[in-house]
């Protein structure tokens, strides 16, 4: 049975979207060529060499590279199952990773041997298993969270940067991708369906 995810930032998200919708105008100052550009120019740590005992997917800013123009960030965020966290941490320690502390959400922050900052996000639920079992892959072979689940995570987080990322990613998404995103959000976060539609409109306006 599908479990609907708690949505604590719903009101904040709706207020932000409502405010942006009042003032947005077609076009963003960026060219269509730029908005449709997908690159992987800034190498990040190859976690496939480090994490071997349990599945993970890259989320956060690095993951958005597959779905919108690349922005400069070398910090990594990964999603893992709660029950796999101990195995992940064993691998990180074996690779000389240093735990810096716990996050405000379930998970922890680490400093890798090469100086990279890594946030390990521990989530549970069927959607997590789906996301881990169906990744996309970057040019360097890193497993990247698929667009619908990345949108889901960013809707739950509800920060202004997350909502801006959703808008830009969906603005460049094709019809098939949009349908898959809508399916996942309707299944796991139905309270956000209306907000999702607004973010799609904002993203398409940016493309004009």
pLDDT (tens digit per residue) in 65-86: 999 988 877 799 999 999 999 9
| Res 28 pLDDT > 60 | no
Domain end marker among 145, 176, 191: 145
Residue 1 domain flag: no
Residue 160 domain flag: yes
**pLDDT in the model for residue 35:** 66
Range scoring the smallest mean pLDDT among 71-80, 97-106, 199-208: 199-208
Residues 84 and 166 both lie in one domain = no
Overall number of domains in the chain: 2
**What average pLDDT does the segment 151-171 reach?**
94
**What average pLDDT does the segment 166-183 reach?**
95
**pLDDT in the model for residue 97:** 97
Residues 13 and 53 both lie in one domain = no
Residues 156 and 189 both lie in one domain = yes
Nearest alpha-carbon partner for 185 in 136, 101, 127: 127
| Res 207 pLDDT > 80 | no
Contact 150, 123 (CB under 8 A): no
Greater model confidence, 65 or 2? 65
What is the DSSP track for 74-94?
Answer: --EEEEEEGGGHHHHHHHHHH
Q: Provide, for the chain, the percentages of residues in helix, strand and coil under a 3-state DSSP scheme, each rounded to the nearest 5.
A: 50, 15, 35
Residues 84 and 69 both lie in one domain = yes
Q: Which helix H or strand E contains 155, and what residues bound it? A: helix 147-157
Radius of gyration of the chain (CA): 17
Residues 107 and 130 both lie in one domain = yes
| Res 27 pLDDT > 70 | no
CATH number, position 66: 3.30.460.40
Residues 96 and 172 both lie in one domain = no
Residues 97 and 163 both lie in one domain = no
**What average pLDDT does the segment 21-47 reach?**
75
Q: Which tens digits make up the pLDDT trace of 43-61?
A: 899 999 999 999 999 999 9
**pLDDT in the model for residue 125:** 93
Euclidean distance between CA atoms 74 and 42, whole angstroms = 7
Residue 4 domain flag: no
Greater model confidence, 7 or 25? 7
Residue 180 domain flag: yes
Residue 2 domain flag: no
Residues 43 and 131 both lie in one domain = yes
Euclidean distance between CA atoms 108 and 114, whole angstroms = 18
**pLDDT in the model for residue 31:** 65
Q: Provide the domain limits for residue 20.
A: 9-38+147-208
């Amino acid at each position: 049975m599908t479990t609907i995810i708690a949505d604590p930032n719903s009101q904040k998200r709706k207020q932000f979207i409502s405010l942006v919708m009042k003032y947005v105008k077609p076009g963003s100052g960026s060219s269509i060529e730029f908005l449709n550009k997908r690159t992987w120019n800034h190498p990040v740590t190859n976690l496939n060499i480090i994490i071997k005992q349990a599945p993970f997917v890259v989320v956060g800013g690095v993951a958005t590279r597959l779905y919108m123009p690349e922005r400069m960030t070398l910090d990594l965020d990964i999603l893992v199952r709660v029950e796999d966290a101990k195995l992940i941490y064993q691998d990180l320690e074996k690779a000389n990773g240093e735990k810096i502390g716990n996050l405000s959400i379930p998970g922890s922050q680490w400093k890798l041997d090469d100086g990279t900052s890594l946030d390990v996000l521990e989530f549970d639920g069927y959607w997590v298993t789906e996301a881990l079992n169906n990744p996309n892959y970057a040019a360097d072979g890193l497993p990247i969270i698929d667009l619908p689940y990345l949108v889901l995570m960013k809707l739950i987080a509800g920060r202004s940067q997350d909502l801006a990322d959703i808008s830009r990613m969906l603005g460049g998404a094709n019809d098939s991708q949009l349908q898959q995103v809508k399916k996942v959000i309707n299944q796991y976060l139905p309270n956000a369906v209306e907000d999702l539609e607004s973010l799609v409109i904002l993203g398409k306006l940016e493309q004009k």
